[in-house]
Structures are given as C-alpha cells and as structure tokens.
Amino acid sequence: MGDHWREDLGFTVPHESVYPSLWLWDSCFHSIIWTALGEGRRAQRELRAVFAAQTTGGFVPHMNHALHPERHRSFWGIAGVSTITQPPLYGHAMAVLAAAGIEIEEISNHVIAAFHHLFERRATACGLLQIIHPWENGTDDSPRWERWQTQPFDQRQWWEMKGKLVEALELEGREAVRSEAFAVCPAGWNALVAWNAAEAAAVTGDRVLAAAAQELTTAIDQLSWNEALNTWIDVDPKGRMTSTIRTVDGLLGVLVTGYPDRADRILAALAEPDEYGTPFGPPGVHPAEPTFDPKAYWRGGAWPPWNYLLRTAADRRGHKEHAAAFDSALINGACASGFSEYWDPITGAGQGARPQSWSCLAAVPRELASPASLVSRRT
C-alpha cells in the first residue's frame, strides 16, 4: 500500500502502470485498509479525495485523472474526470472511519449529497435505481451484459462496444444523466446503494436517507429475487428481467434483505462446493454457468471486494463460521496470488494487475468492518 500512496494527491493508485488514476470504489476500500493499518490521516485524505471532483448537484465521478487530466478528454468529452459513477462504497467507508474515531464531519456532507443525488437522478418507474453504463456496476466484462455482447464473447469487440456506450451517454454539464443504449437496474448495484446509504444514515442520523435505503431494499426483495435460481437478478427500468446468469454480485442482496431465510440460503450456497464454495473465495460467476471462466476478467475469478463484502454480511448476520471461511479465503487468495487484482478461485493463481492495492482488504479485521456500535444502531 505504501508504494502506491501519492502524498501530493492524497490518494492511493490501485496499480502504478495499469491503474494510475483514482477509482471511486477502489479509494473507498483503500480508506478502510488505511484505517486497519492505523493510518487515520491517510484514511481520511483518501476518502476525501473521492469527492474532490464532486459536482454541486452531488454527482461523484468514478475516475479522477489527477495525474494526467487531459489524457482522456476526447473519450469522456470533458477533462480530468469521467462522466459516470461507481458503486457508492463511501457510505460504508465513512461508517468504518467514524467507528474508528476518525473525524468525518467534513466528509459526511459530501456523502449525504451523493446519496440524495443517486436516489433522485437514478430513480426508475419500477422502484429500483439504474446504471447507464456497465462500468458503473464495477463488473466490466460480466456475462450479465450478454445482450450487449457478441456471442461467443470477444473481449476486443466488447471493449469497442463499451466505448460506443460512452458515446451514447447524454451529458448535463460534467455528468452523464441518461442513455438510450444502456439502462439496467442491477441487483448487486442496488444492494450496494441501499446498504451504503443505510450505513451513512446510521452515523449521520439522516432519516430521509434511512427511509430511502429501506424503500430500495424492499424493492430489491420484491422485484429482483428469483426463487428458482436462488439469487437476485437484474431488471430494466420497467422491471423486466435482463439477465438470469448467476454471478456473485447478484448475491449482494444478502447485505440488506429483509428475509432472513434468503440470507441463510445464500450464505449456505456460498459455502457449498457444488455452488460457490471454492478454496480461494466465491467465483464471480457460478461454476455451472456456460460462461464461467476462472481466469477471465469479471467472468469467474475471485475478487477481493466481493469476498470482503460477503464476509461482512455473514458476520453481521451472525454466521460466524461462514465469515471465518471468507476470512481465510481472502487471506489465502491474496497471499497465493501475490496480492493480485483478482485470482483463480480454485488454484489461487494471480490474475490481472499485481500487486493491486485493494487485495490488502485481507488485512482488515472483521471487527473493523462490523463495529459493534454501528451494528447495534442498525438492529
């Protein structure tokens, strides 16, 4: 982590050459990691850096090209930042910092504004929130986007399509607000919004935000749950199914669901060898899916963020054995892979950039991710 820290900019680059910018959810995880390492000043600065380019309306871009502000101007249509967002892990990160006694007053105003913006701007008729580019979900090449991908999947053609989907974005100022080419209400992304909003509401006392988080949770349980597949699925803004491919991000509803029996079933499936129970953490895609590839980018590898989030869900729901198993998988995977971006869930072989800073989530103890003060306020 120390080698990736930029003192002049106040954030950690995920990887010096592959990922030399600020990414929203990466920096939120970095802030949590710095807290675990006892670096409160860096933890605070890292989370503050997430909001350095926040608009007056509350929008938070998913990338800040502070090192090379002109490099991607032609791609995004503006200089310095992207026009789309990413999973809002700043709610959970802020709660972790607060529980650790790190000052959050300045940050909290930015976090609250960002969530109110999401609930206003991304609302749809079906009750879920939408994304307008697959990058906003964080799972770039996921087979969940198969209706926009060539069959069989071709990574180069998909990269070109993602560029076309950027061109299709409609901008208002420095923010993409809609797209006629891509609009999805992902189960995992909505679960992360609801959970992080509830985390933020718990430490700030924002009742409006708490109510919005609860309403979104209810919508996720009603609209996205698929009983036959034992997962939450993606739908379009009108509530129509867009994909039934089983992916681990589709299980993130376990963080918020109001149905304890569903949570129990999901956590059991994550431990079952015939389901997601692989030695180095749950694979990004269910092994029985034809698209499963343990070495391909977002198509079957084990990713540190999902392992961390599912461990937190298991811990908070009292499934201590499952939480301990996630702990071991995360630590073993990070070590076996050389702290890679992601790894083969069966062998632990490193994939992607190496070393990648968010693999240091393996150093975050459960009691930091699930502080008793926060859990007691939520229950």
Residues 274-325 pLDDT 10s: 999 999 999 999 999 999 999 999 999 999 999 999 999 999 999 999 999 9
Q: What pLDDT is recorded for position 68?
A: 86
DSSP state of 360: G
Residue 140: band (very low, low, confident or very high) from pLDDT cuts 50, 70, 90: very high
- Residue positions counted in the chain: 379
| DSSP per residue, 96-153 | HHHHTT---HHHHHHHHHHHHHHHHHSB-TTSSB-BSSGGGGS-TT-GGGGGGS-SS-
pLDDT band at 39 (very low <50, low <70, confident <90, very high): very high
pTM above 0.75, yes or no: yes
pLDDT of 67 reads: 84
Query: Is there a contact between 274 and 281 (Cβ–Cβ < 8 Å)?
Result: no
Q: Spell out the alpha helix ranges (H) of 155-186.
A: 155-167
Q: Average pLDDT over the chain, rounded to whole? A: 96
What pLDDT, on the 0 to 100 scale, is given for residue 377?
54
Query: Around Cβ 69, how many Cβ atoms within 10 Å?
Result: 14
Residues linked to residue 170 through DSSP beta bridges, in sequence order: 178
> Is it the case that residue 151 has pLDDT exceeding 70?
yes
pLDDT of 147 above 70: yes
To the nearest 10 degrees (0 to 180), the angle between helices 320-336 and 304-316 is 160
Query: Residue 10's beta-bridge partner residues?
Result: none
Q: What is the pLDDT of residue 115?
A: 98
Question: Is a pLDDT exceeding 70 seen at residue 376?
Answer: no
Give ∠ CA 289-295-298 in degrees, rounded to 5: 65
Instruction: Give the pLDDT score at 325.
Output: 96
Per-residue b or e along 236-249, where b marks 16 or more CB atoms closer than 10 Å to that residue's CB: ebebeebbebbbbb
Mean pLDDT to the nearest integer, 44-64:
98
Residue 379 has pLDDT above 80, yes or no: no
Residue 372 has pLDDT above 80, yes or no: no
Residue/partner pairs of 156-162 with CB below 8 Å, 24 or more apart: 162/133, 162/134, 162/135
Place of tokens 């003060």: 373
Residues 207, 213: contact at Cβ < 8 Å?
A: no
Cα–Cα distance, 49 to 268 (Å, whole number): 38
Contact present, 143 and 247 (Cβ < 8 Å): yes
pLDDT (tens digit per residue) in 249-261? 999 999 999 999 9
